[in-house]
Amino acid sequence: MNGLQHFLILCSGANVHILKKTPSEWNKFAGIGGIVLFTAIFATLSAGYAIFTVFDDYWVAAGFGLLWGLMIFNLDRYIVSSIKKTVGWWHQLLMTLPRLALATFLGIIIAKPLELKIFEKEVNKQLNTIIQRNKKQLQAEMNGRILQQSGPFDTEKKEINDKIAAYRISYDSAAVELEKEILGTKTGLTSGKEGYGPNAKRKAELKEQRRQDLENYQKQVAPRLEYLDKEVSKVYTNLETERKSTETFEDKFNGFAARLQALDELGKNSAIIALAASFIMGMFICLEISPVLIKLISNVGPYDYLLEKTEHSFKVYAKEKIAKGDMSTKHRLKVFEQDLDKEE
């Protein structure tokens, strides 16, 4: 057994001391160990990339990726080593099913971050589309809130401006009538006599009165209009500040969950990407469950018999020690009871 075989056999979770007695089994367990090792390597890369998208720090990503890879390695090693080949086939299958389910779940966990890396360019493009779509939705929401919050102020401003317009129209009408009276234009409201006569004088007084009414009303409502303009401006300023702040967060919408959303949308929009992603996930699921399947479908070998014999010997030895201990305890109790009887 060379150094590489020894290392791979350790990765498979097999008992090296027992396996040394069965050279024909070395290659099988070295192969199983190699699969477990490569699964752990892929898990390390997968977790490292996933954490890097969250923290954007190489050291944190490398540390967590290594920790995750070691955990997956230990878990896969235990799953494979816990399958006993000397029991009945149905018992092996029942024992393997939960392990297969767990291995499948781990395969999905490992595959997803690596899918994101493989389709990184497409995901980045889709992320930009999502960001622009979110910004449009944000702008529409802001517009609705502007209308809602500034609506009462705008309504009051419109009412005041409509009243000012009515005063202005009344003033303009009086000015036109005065001009027609002076020019001698005959209408239903003018005398038709040219020059500045009594009628023109009255119309001039009416024009002046309406001008004063207009100016007085404008002076009266000026503070109120200024207040309404400030409130509307405040609404726009607050919402614009909020929009810019929110857009800043939207521009940073590139975390792990956002990339998963982008990948999901890509799969829905493109059958080719969905098919490729399915193949990638299937490949990693097969890689993850392959040690379990290999152990399940392989024939019972010398190693399995020796392992069963060793475990059985320890089991018998333990039972024997327990039985001897019980007998010794019973004997001591019996002697103790006899001593008590003699003393009485």
Give the class (CATH, top level) of 130-256.
mainly alpha
Cα three-residue angle 143-145-146, rounded to 5 degrees = 65
Region 326-336 average pLDDT: 74
In this prediction, residue 314 carries a pLDDT of 80
| 148 — pLDDT class (breaks 50, 70, 90) | confident
Cα 96 to chain centroid, rounded: 33
Region 101-119 average pLDDT: 79
What is the rounded CA–CA span in Å between residue 339 and residue 341? 5
pLDDT of residue 247 exceeding 70: no
Structure tokens at 222: 């000026």
Residue 132: how many other CB atoms lie within 10 Å: 11
pLDDT of residue 316 exceeding 80: yes
| 287 — pLDDT class (breaks 50, 70, 90) | confident
Q: CA nearest 79: which of 33, 114, 28, 38?
A: 33
pLDDT of residue 330 exceeding 80: no
pLDDT of residue 99 exceeding 80: no
Structure tokens at 136: 């449009």
Percent of the chain with pLDDT over 70: 86
What is the rounded CA–CA span in Å between residue 34 and residue 287? 11
Taking only the tens place, the pLDDT of each residue in 150-167 is: 778 778 888 888 888 888
The CA-atom distances, in angstroms, between 99 and each of 82, 115, 164, 212 are 10, 24, 82, 93
Which three-class secondary structure state does DSSP give residue 157? helix
Region 136-141 average pLDDT: 78
pLDDT of residue 169 exceeding 60: yes
What is the rounded CA–CA span in Å between residue 174 and residue 208? 9
In this prediction, residue 43 carries a pLDDT of 81
Taking only the tens place, the pLDDT of each residue in 220-241 is: 888 888 888 888 888 777 777 7
pLDDT of residue 251 exceeding 60: no
Region 303-307 average pLDDT: 77
pTM to 2 decimals? 0.55
pLDDT of residue 70 exceeding 70: yes
For residues 18-54, b (16+ Cβ closer than 10 Å) or e, as one string?
Answer: bbeebeebbebbbbbbbbbbebbebbbbbbbbbbbbe
In this prediction, residue 223 carries a pLDDT of 85
Ranking 71-85, 178-192, 232-246 by mean pLDDT, the lowest is 178-192
Domain ranges of the chain: 3-118+271-300, 130-256
In this prediction, residue 234 carries a pLDDT of 82
Ranking 21-30, 71-80, 178-187, 305-314 by mean pLDDT, the lowest is 178-187
In this prediction, residue 341 carries a pLDDT of 64
In this prediction, residue 310 carries a pLDDT of 80
Mean pLDDT taken over the chain: 79
| 299 — pLDDT class (breaks 50, 70, 90) | confident
Region 95-122 average pLDDT: 79
